[in-house]
Amino acid sequence: MNYIEPHAHMVSRTTADYEAMVQAGCVAVCEPAFWAGFDRASPQGFYDYYRQLTEYEPARAAKFGLPHYCWLCINPKEAEDAGFAREVMALIPEFLDKETVLGIGEIGLNKNTRHELEIFEEHVALATKHDLPILIHTPHLEDKLKGTKLIIDALKNARVDPSKVIIDHVEEHTAGLVLDSGFWAGMTLYPESKCTPARAIDILETFGMEQIWMNSACDWGVSDPLAVIKCALEMRKRQHAQAIIDKVIYENPRSFLSQSKNFKA
């Protein structure tokens, strides 16, 4: 089965992971800018990270024949100091012309603070100015529902075209909110937290197969770079037609990502 991994933090993975993904049928991988597992001490730390995402990581992936794309931003977890966040954001435009950059992400909220929301809105303005798609991280656990509502309100106030926005890490209680407002929804498959494959398939069966994708979000923590293809096999066990599985793991991400002029699959 061919599939697209639309959200993976490959800078923290090994070459064995690249090899396994390609063997499993992965035809493109997309990496949003995110927290590195530690707070960076200076804007220069982000500058080097953007170079890693736009120069080094695509070259590393290319050794395995896997096209690598990225999204740029300062993530909400490191955006609580708004002055610091703005210094980092000022570095982003010089990277937007790189040929593997898809858009702005993963922006969003972490603890739903006022500063996080300000920086989120400034990222949305940056994306709008450059006519780029947006990838959004929603908060965890008890903060998720409130954070998702704040994010949707801010996007509506900014009059962003919802078809150019994907709101990731949806769960049972937020998928409907996101899809009903016309946004795309992402489901993150984690072995322990977020969605298990069984829950993700339940959500697909409840909310339908339109404007939705699945990703592994594999990073430096406990996560599985093959989660998407394993979930596809689980869909087969539940008797979903191959055309439906292909739509969720390949056609849907391709449709959304093709809104970026740089994405080719």
Residues in the site for Zn ion, rule: CB under 5 A? 34, 217
Choose between 34 and 84: whose C-beta lies nearer to Zn ion.
Answer: 34
Sheet holding 101-108, edge to edge: 3-5, 26-32, 68-72, 101-108, 134-137, 165-167, 184-188, 212-215
- The residue among 217 and 227 lying less far from Zn ion, judged by its C-beta, is 217
Q: Which is nearer to Zn ion, 30 or 66 (CB)?
A: 30
Give me the least distance between CB of 59 and Zn ion, in Å please. 21
Taking the complex as a whole, the smallest distance from the CB of residue 237 to Zn ion amounts, in Å, to: 27
b/e per residue 159-197 (b: at least 16 CB within 10 A): ebebebbbbbbbbeebbebbbeeebbbbbbbbeeebbbb
DSSP classification of residue 67:
-
DSSP output for 175-211: HHHHHHTT-EEEEEB-SSSSB-HHHHHHHHHHH-SSS
5 vs 201, which CB is nearer to Zn ion?
A: 5
Place of tokens 């592994």: 216
- What's the CA dihedral at 226, 228, 230, 232 to 10 degrees? -150
* Residue placing its CB nearer to Zn ion in the complex, 34 or 263: 34
Give the residue with the Cβ less far from Zn ion, 105 or 162. Answer: 105
Min. distance of Cβ 227 from Zn ion in angstroms? 13
* Closest separation in Å from C-beta 135 to Zn ion: 9
CB of 175 to Zn ion, least distance (A): 18
Helix (H) or strand (E) holding 104: strand 101-108
CA dist 82 and 29 (Å) reads 30
CB of 32 to Zn ion, least distance (A): 5
